[in-house]
Amino acid sequence: MSDLGASTGWGLLIGASLLAGALVAAGVRLPKKAAATLTAFGGGILFAAVALELVPEADAEAGPGLTALGLIAGALVYVGADRFLNRDHDTKMMRQSAHAASAGREMAMPSGGGSGSREVARGESIAAGLFVDGVPESIALGLTVAEGEVGIALLAGIVVGNLVEAYGAAQPIVAGG
């Protein structure tokens, strides 16, 4: 299979995981403990995928110094982007609501006038954030495809993470009607 065909196939699978998470949110309200457990599992599997698949390969190719520098630089970029995105109160509350929803906790939703338009707008903003969040995941997966192999642990981590994130993003949309 060509790199383009493989990339397209894996991209469709990852996109389907976002759709599946949203469909679960539309049809099933998970108990808080189950949602929190799923969130922890999703985070753990993604962390393990990075630690067991990407870091050893980077260490073998670039050496420990550049690998450590890359990890630190990536963490700093993530923290910087997070601080930038949380610079105003409304944005900070929206992101905290998304994190709460994906963990199965109550969300700080505004009490709208019955139409639910504010809740829907908040959910749509969270969903847009999911696409931005997918960029580093797509790059990592694309690099493994370009090398002629797909890291199954990385793929599983991305899919499970997307299921959880899409569930959290869909909750305010469902709540808004």
Q: How confident is the model at residue 139 (pLDDT cuts 50, 70, 90)?
A: confident
The predicted pLDDT at position 126 comes to 60
Q: Residue 73 to residues 54, 77, 131, 137: CA-CA distances in angstroms?
A: 15, 6, 22, 16
Query: How far apart are the two ends of the chain, measured CA to CA in Å?
Result: 43
23-37, 62-76, 133-147 — most confident range: 62-76
Alpha-carbon distance values, 69 to 49, 54, 56, 65, 76 (Å):
19, 14, 14, 6, 10
Q: Is the per-residue pLDDT at 63 higher than 90?
A: yes
Average pLDDT of the segment spanning 112-129: 55
Q: Which of 5-19, 50-64, 65-79, 101-115 has the lowest mean pLDDT?
A: 101-115
Distance between CA atoms of 66 and 55, rounded to whole angstroms?
Answer: 11
Query: Quick check: 162 and 18 in contact, CB under 8 A?
Result: yes
Task: Tell me the pLDDT of the chain averaged across its residues.
Answer: 75
At 73, the pLDDT band (50, 70, 90 cuts) reads very high
* Interval 96-121 mean pLDDT: 56
Q: Which two tokens stand for residue 58?
A: 């980077």
